[in-house]
């Protein structure tokens, strides 16, 4: 998935455990694990807002886009080709 989740980075910066974050945000540790391991299909804005409030960060500190090989191949690059 091209969206990477960096909750672990913010947890380390804030010296906070997954359990503490889950409790303060109001979600189960299992659901937080799904999100932080990149297996979530969606995240509610209210959950994202609560994560940002507790971790004192911006959404971009938690989520980032990574280009995948599929996206690179589909970009229509013509490097190395010649046109007559």
Q: Is the pTM of this model over 0.75?
A: yes
Each residue of 11-38: pLDDT tens digit?
999 999 999 999 999 999 999 999 999 9
- Selection from 25, 13, 27 nearest residue 52 by Cα: 25
Each residue of 42-76: pLDDT tens digit?
999 999 999 999 999 999 999 999 988 765 565 55
| DSSP string of 18-83, one letter each residue | HHHHHHHHTS-HHHHHHHHTT--S---HHHHHHHHHHHT--HHHHEEE---HHHHHTT---TT---
The rounded percent of the chain whose pLDDT value lies above 90 is 76
């Amino acid at each position: 998935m091209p969206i990477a989740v960096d909750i672990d980075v913010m947890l380390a910066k804030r010296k906070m455990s997954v359990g503490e974050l889950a409790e303060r945000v109001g979600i189960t540790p299992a659901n937080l694990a799904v999100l932080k391991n990149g297996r979530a299909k969606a995240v509610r804005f209210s959950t994202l807002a609560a994560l940002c409030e507790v971790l004192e960060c911006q959404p971009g500190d938690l989520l980032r886009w990574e280009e995948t090989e599929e996206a690179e191949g589909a970009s229509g690059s013509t490097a190395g080709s010649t046109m007559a």
